Amino acid sequence: MLQQTIITALQQVRKHKPLVVNITNYVVMNNTANALLAIGASPIMAHSSQEMPEMMSFSGSLVINIGTLDSVWIPRMLFAVEQANLNNKVVVLDPVGVGASQLRTDTAREIAQLAQRLIIRGNASEIIALAGEQAQSKGVDSLDSSDTALGAARYLLETYQANVVISGATDYVVTNEHTVALKNGHEMMPFVTGMGCTLSALTGAFAAVGEETGLAAAAVLGVVGEIAAEQSTGPGSLQVNLLDQLYQIDQENLLQRLKLQQV
């Protein structure tokens, strides 16, 4: 049944080409726009508050990534979340580097508090830091294995009524209905910057067609990253092959590779 949810969501994205508004960090804008195009969605990279009401009125979802936040961009992020709320659109929050600075922690929590329909996608360190437990975040990369963050994810689910995706060697999707473990992916993936940001962007695409748990995005990116990494000699070719595979992935290959279990 979860498999069918994933397949249906992929079909829906390719059929409806949903618009996804992204306020994301400077580092990954190109990658996440390309990932959204490759999977069949339609990215809008826009941040000005002067146009956000219009953008959110016809967009399918909003992705907020705080990777290169500052005092100029934070109000834009908050305003965009308000506009998403007004239009009853899902917000995907990527709390990049939460725990590495108070600014990031405060901002991520403010966004999480504000968003009415919320999916949070982070690595284990970020999920733990966002929940407020002890976790020394080392920059924007994760120090913790993802299963150590399950308690924090459940705390976030309860506190913010948010579905939570913990990405790592194993990805976890934590909702009120279930906790799902996904064991696809490849050890080379953390050597490409913005792989988590790409997962958050794809989560926005699937949310825009009604798959609001983050499951489909985690399943697709895990399988596609695994295929791409097997074809690659390093992180440069991995990034290229990942986009090619997002474009090519079909139902059969996706299901054949998928390592999914409820926990």
Residue 57 φ then ψ, to 5° = -70, -30
Nearer to its own copies, 71 or 134 (CB): 71
121 annotated to bind ligand: yes
Nearer to its own copies, 59 or 148 (CB): 59
At 16, which amino acid appears? H
Using rule CB under 8 A, residue 19 touches its own copies: yes
Cα–Cα distance for residue pair 132/216, rounded to 1 Å: 27
Using rule CB under 8 A, residue 134 touches its own copies: no
Residues 6+ apart with CB under 8 A from 117: 84, 85, 88, 89, 90, 91, 212
Using rule CB under 8 A, residue 78 touches its own copies: no
Q: Which of 31, 61, 83, 184 binds its own copies (CB under 8 A)?
A: 31
Using rule CB under 8 A, residue 233 touches its own copies: yes
Using rule CB under 8 A, residue 236 touches its own copies: yes
Using rule CB under 8 A, residue 12 touches its own copies: no
Residue 118 φ then ψ, to 5° = -130, 135
Cα–Cα distance for residue pair 140/63, rounded to 1 Å: 18
Residues in contact with its own copies, shown as a per-residue x/- string from 172 to 201 under the rule CB under 8 A: ------------------xxxxx-------
Residues in contact with its own copies, shown as a per-residue x/- string from 57 to 76 under the rule CB under 8 A: -xx-------xxxxxx---x
Nearer to its own copies, 146 or 198 (CB): 198
14 annotated to bind ligand: no
Q: Which of 12, 34, 61, 198 binds its own copies (CB under 8 A)?
A: 34
Using rule CB under 8 A, residue 169 touches its own copies: no
Sign of CA dihedral 22, 168, 134, 178: positive
Using rule CB under 8 A, residue 132 touches its own copies: no
Cα–Cα distance for residue pair 29/194, rounded to 1 Å: 9
Burial class (CB in 10 A: 0-12, 13-18, 19+), 254: buried
